[in-house]
Amino acid sequence: MSPVLARVACVIPAKDEQDRIAATVTAAKSLPHVDVVLVCDDGSSDATGQHAGAAGAIVVTHSRNRGKAAAVESAVNALGVMEQRDGRPECGTLLLLDADLADSAAACAPLIEPVVAGRADLTIAVLPAQQTESGETPGGFGLVMGTAARGITELTGWTPQAPLSGQRCLTRRAFELASPLAAGWGVEVGMTVDVVRAGLTVLEVPVELRHRATGRDLAGQLHRAKQLRDVTRALVSRGWVSVGLDEVRSAGLSSLLRRRGRPE
């Protein structure tokens, strides 16, 4: 096991997650090999940053919301600055977690082990079936998931089970090869395409994680429209040309909502 790979930095992008972020940070700190937890508070309107800091995370703050990709990049950039400034040993492995995992983040060890052991360059969590906070089945019509999986397959020849999973562990080198990250909600899809195309090893790993699932209400559908827009952009910018009519129409819906003044 490489001593560099065995040092893991956990990166958590977060917006308005004051109710869950402390538990997520605490659970992440308990994971094997994790040396440091960095949270990027991406323009929160609540006390996310304060709660993360109180739980022991190093907090990077965006004064306005800049999106998931920018939050991840800011945290990783801060890690590099800290390592150089303080003479800290390099963390050769990055664990990317969503802020709403709460206590379940403690189950992420299976993501870390293949990377620090050198068996994989990127691991992706496959989550069990989720439920919304009201106990309902989450999800829309599978359009975003299907578009992401189809695009990754057509661009790389590899078909993922969980193309949108934000729970990932990867080497610093793999992160650099995927940088700059695809914007917004396209970050995971763009990363997967870039890492596979670089000839690196990607593994999907079942992990017992729980997060706040998006429902089928209007807010959930608006969220999926934004996801589809960003996923489609990430795929097209990497050469994908098989964009179907449904994808274009849904991405157009997001643009229309934005023009009407709905928040990003």
Per-residue pLDDT, 253: 46
| CA separation for the pair 225, 2 (Å, rounded) | 42
Per-residue pLDDT, 210: 83
Task: Tell me if 178 is assigned to some domain.
Answer: yes
Task: Tell me if 250 is assigned to some domain.
Answer: no
Task: Tell me if 100 is assigned to some domain.
Answer: yes
Q: Going by DSSP bridges, is the β-strand pair 168-171/58-62 parallel, antiparallel, or unpaired?
A: unpaired
pLDDT digits (tens, 9 = 90+) for 241-253: 875 544 444 444 4
Environment class of 205 (CB within 10 Å of its CB; exposed 0-12, middle 13-18, buried 19+): buried
Per-residue pLDDT, 132: 56
pLDDT at residue 151 is higher than 90: yes
The 8-class DSSP code of residue 31 comes to S
Q: pTM above 0.85?
A: yes
How confident is the model over 134-145, as a mean pLDDT?
A: 66
Per-residue pLDDT, 173: 97
Quote the distance between the C-alpha of residue 133 and its chain's center: 21
CATH code (residue 133): 3.90.550.10
pLDDT at residue 141 is higher than 70: no
Q: Note down the domain range covering 124.
A: 8-145+161-214
User: Alpha helix (H) ranges present in the chain?
Assistant: 21-29, 48-54, 68-86, 109-116, 143-156, 172-177, 187-197, 218-237, 245-259
Task: Tell me if 54 is assigned to some domain.
Answer: yes
* Average pLDDT value for the chain: 88
pLDDT at residue 260 is higher than 50: no
- Domain count along the chain: 1
pLDDT at residue 123 is higher than 90: yes
Per-residue pLDDT, 264: 38
Short-list 213, 249, 255, 240, CA closest to 149: 240
Task: Tell me if 108 is assigned to some domain.
Answer: yes
| CA separation for the pair 204, 213 (Å, rounded) | 20
